[in-house]
Amino acid sequence: MLPSAAALNELSQFDRLIDALLGLSRITRTTINHRKVDLGGMAREAALALQQEAPEREVTFDIEPGRLPGKRRRVDQLV
């Protein structure tokens, strides 16, 4: 008998949870190197990409310059 779609969904969520917990355990064993990330620059890059994707849309972006501590790659993943 094959598992139901709901059971497969639950298994998939459980698998993602385990992967996330394993990832967290690896993070806690590494040294965290802090550096500044230009969030304003990242926002400008994202705005430019959106404008190029849909030039017919009239959108105004108000982006303040600034740098904050963080990892660029991780921030990219979150954005």
How does residue 5 score in pLDDT terms, banded at 50, 70 and 90? confident
CA–CA separation, 38 and 42 (whole Å): 6
For 6-59, the pLDDT digits (tens) are 888 899 999 999 998 888 887 777 676 777 778 888 888 889 998 999 889 888
The string of DSSP letters for 32-71 reads ----EE-HHHHHHHHHHHHHHH-TTS----------EES-
